[in-house]
A and B are shown apart, each in its own frame.
Chain A
Amino acid sequence: GQNIDQPTEMTATEGAIVQINCTYQTSGFNGLFWYQQHAGEAPTFLSYNVLDGLEEKGRFSSFLSRSKGYSYLLLKELQMKDSASYLCAVRDYGATNKLIFGTGTLLAVQP
């Protein structure tokens, strides 16, 4: 089966650092994505990990441990505009790039 778990909600303070965790148990694995989604809008791509380790991209970093079925997204120097849902998604294995999404983590950044 497919199971991707993330915390439902998180709150953090402007300027701080927040870590959003994702654990997965899927029948196939060919990489893990993080997407950002503001309410009522389309998801936008943040990061992709296929090998273990940390990928850094500006204020955003993403980590993957395949043996533990675990990933996290790290957001630094939080800004009010970072208030959004953060979606963890696993790329299925095989001749497809279809994504299996978790339910998302709603992050509220407070002043």
Chain B
Amino acid sequence: DSGVTQTPKHLITATGQRVTLRCSPRSGDLSVYWYQQSLDQGLQFLIQYYNGEERAKGNILERFSAQQFPDLHSELNLSSLELGDSALYFCASSVERWEAGALQYNEQFFGPGTRLTVL
């Protein structure tokens, strides 16, 4: 158990719908990352939040958005869903440690994922 929780575990919905995926990071971690993993592709970085602010963005579609709340949990919103959005969505969390002005490596801990099926 990584300490990162994600809900729901499974989600089945129809094309055109909107869903919200939720992630709670490990206690003390300020950074949350969202990744998408579909069958024909590896893990794709979507977006990162740090202490409520967007920190980095990957190839996230305009139909997708995310936010991080004051209690540090994060939500990923997917709208106008298409068949191709069916995938495993993982969130990960990490602490951030800076030394001499440089961001140090910190391991990312992954949640169990949400499997989204769009029919």
Residues on A facing B (Cβ under 8 Å): 30-31, 40-45, 48, 50, 87, 89, 91-92, 94-104
Contact = CB atoms under 8 A, between A and B. Distances in A.
Contact of A48 (B48, B94, B105): B105
Contact of A98 (B58, B88, B109, B115): B58
| Interface bin, chain B | 20 to 34
Contacts of B45: 98-101
Interface stretch (B13-21, B36-44, B68-76, B79-87): B36-44
**Minimum-distance CB pairs A-B, first 10:** A42-B110, A103-B42, A96-B56, A101-B43, A101-B42, A98-B56, A45-B107, A98-B45, A43-B110, A42-B112
Give the dominant DSSP class at B's interface: strand
Contact of A104 (B33, B42, B96, B108): B42
A97 B105 contact: yes
Contacts of B105: 30-31, 48, 50, 91, 97
A102 B55 CA distance: 22
Contacts of B24: none
**Chain A contact surface mostly:** loop
6 contacts: A40-B113, A42-B111, A48-B105, A96-B55, A97-B108, A102-B42
Given A42-B2, A96-B56, 17 more contacts: A31-B105, A42-B111, A44-B110, A45-B107, A45-B108, A48-B105, A50-B105, A89-B43, A96-B55, A96-B103, A97-B31, A97-B96, A98-B45, A99-B33, A99-B45, A101-B43, A102-B42
Interface string B87-119: 010100010100000010111111111010000
B8 to A, nearest CB: 15
A38 to B, nearest CB: 12
